[in-house]
């Protein structure tokens, strides 16, 4: 009988503890719903926004991972780990898709937890749209409208970052400066629309010939640059030869006439003591030499 009485008291204490925990969780959830909009409005950086949401959600709902996927904007951001149980939400505002957000953990989400998630997602969608619109504006400012390639400003920023990384990790880095041969003649003979067509064809050919880790830019006019990460002089020379061969097989049509294209390339590999301006200057001088020696070729600089 005594043992039975103790069990009853233990059950009462356990029930009271569970009820108290539920009350505290409800209070925490209500507080989070109130403060979350202010927290999320502190940034326009998409990754930082999702990190904040992930961290804030953890305070009231334990989960293993969060992921946002939005292919139209090439966004796929992951936080934490993927587990067995998932809940997925297609986020949108005014019929505008913001992507698919997924939450993951080792045990199933309860109905109450799902309702809480949905309430919190209502606080996320407006800051999320603001971040995506801000990112689109940044991307547009660094994208060449004709070719869709990153532009000169994007090149300058990217090259500085790659040089810092190469020096810090003692890795090779090479730069190609590419110019369409006789481009003024193409514009004069076939018109500016054909010149634009030639630019887009060259841009696509460059992109198709590169590794994922390499990035081509439209530097300006008929000039392009290619940053070759982790790439020494010999490998860069092979890339340059491949680009020459690929472009030589391109034919541009203006509707009634067609013409072939060639390019010239200057190649330089980063020295340990130079900056982005010096690296570009050496590659640009090599390009000039390729032009003066007859075009449709590449010239590589010496690192001595």
Q: Which domains does the chain have, with CATH numbers?
A: 2-141 (3.30.450), 152-300 (3.30.70.270)
Tell me: pLDDT of 276 over 80: yes
Q: Is 85 left (phi over 0), alpha (psi -120 to 50) or beta?
A: beta
Residue 79, beta-bridge partner list = 66
Tell me: pLDDT of 254 over 50: yes
Share of the chain above pLDDT 70, in %: 91
Rounded Cα gap, residues 167 and 272, in angstroms = 7
pLDDT (0 to 100) of residue 127: 96
pLDDT (0 to 100) of residue 20: 45
Pick the catalytic residue: 222, 223, 241, 293? 222
Taking the mean position of all CA atoms in its chain, how far away is CA 88?
Answer: 23
> Tell me: the pLDDT tens digits for 87-134?
999 999 988 999 999 999 999 999 999 999 999 999 999 999 999 999
Q: How confident is the model at residue 29 (pLDDT cuts 50, 70, 90)?
A: confident
Question: 17-21, 86-90, 144-148, 182-186: lowest mean pLDDT where?
Answer: 17-21
> What angle, 0 to 180 degrees and rounded to 10, lies between the N-to-C axes of helices 111-141 and 2-40?
20
pTM beyond 0.75, yes or no: no
Q: What is the mean pLDDT of residues 45-60?
A: 94
Q: Give the residue carrying structure tokens 């986020």.
A: 91
Q: How confident is the model at residue 234 (pLDDT cuts 50, 70, 90)?
A: very high
> Tell me: the pLDDT tens digits for 287-300?
999 999 999 999 99
CB 246 within 8 A of CB 208: yes
Please indicate whether residue 24 is annotated as part of the active site. no
SS3 of the chain: the string is CHHHHHHHHHHHHHHHHHHHHHHHHHHHHHHHHHHHHHHHCCCCCHHHHHHHHHHHHHCCCCCCEEEEEEHHHCEEEEEECCCCEEEEEEEEECCEEEEEEEEEECCCCCHHHHHHHHHHHHHHHHHHHHHHHHHHHHHHHCECCCCCCECHHHHHHHHHHHHHHHHHHCCCEEEEEEEECCHHHHHHHHCHHHHHHHHHHHHHHHHHHCCCCCEEEEEECCEEEEEEECCCHHHHHHHHHHHHHHHHCCEEECCCCEEECCEEEEEEECCCCCCHHHHHHHHHHHHHHHHHCCCCCEEECCCC
Residues 6+ away with beta carbon under 8 Å from 143: 149, 150, 151, 154
> Tell me: the pLDDT tens digits for 170-221?
999 999 999 999 999 999 988 889 999 999 999 999 999 998 889 999 999 9
Tell me: pLDDT of 12 over 60: no
Tell me: pLDDT of 57 over 70: yes
């Amino acid at each position: 009988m005594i043992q039975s009485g103790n069990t009853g008291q233990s059950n009462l204490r356990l029930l009271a503890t569970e009820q108290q925990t539920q009350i505290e969780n409800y209070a925490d959830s209500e507080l989070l719903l109130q403060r979350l909009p202010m927290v999320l409005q502190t940034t326009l950086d998409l990754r930082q926004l999702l990190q904040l949401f992930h961290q804030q959600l953890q305070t009231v709902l334990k989960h293993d991972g969060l992921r946002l996927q939005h292919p139209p904007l090439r966004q796929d951001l992951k936080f934490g780990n993927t587990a067995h149980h998932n809940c997925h939400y297609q986020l949108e505002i005014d019929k505008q898709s913001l992507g698919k957000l997924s939450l993951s953990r080792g045990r199933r989400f309860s109905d109450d937890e799902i309702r809480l998630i949905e309430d919190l997602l209502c606080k996320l969608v407006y800051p999320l749209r603001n971040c995506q619109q801000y990112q689109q504006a940044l991307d547009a400012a660094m994208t060449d409208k004709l070719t869709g390639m990153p532009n000169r400003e994007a090149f300058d920023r990217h090259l500085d970052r790659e040089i810092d990384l190469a020096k810090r990790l003692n890795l090779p880095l090479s730069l190609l400066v590419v110019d369409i041969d006789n481009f003024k003649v193409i514009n004069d003979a076939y018109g500016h629309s054909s010149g634009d067509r030639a630019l887009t064809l060259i841009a696509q050919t460059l992109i198709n010939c590169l590794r994922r880790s390499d990035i081509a830019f439209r530097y300006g006019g008929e000039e392009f640059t290619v940053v070759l990460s982790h790439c020494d002089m010999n490998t860069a020379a092979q890339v340059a030869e491949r680009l020459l061969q690929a472009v030589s097989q391109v034919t541009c049509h203006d509707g009634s006439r067609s013409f072939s294209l060639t390019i010239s390339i200057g190649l330089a590999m980063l020295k340990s003591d130079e900056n982005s301006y010096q690296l570009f200057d050496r590659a640009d001088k090599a390009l000039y030499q390729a032009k003066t020696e007859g075009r449709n070729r590449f010239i590589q600089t010496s690192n001595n």
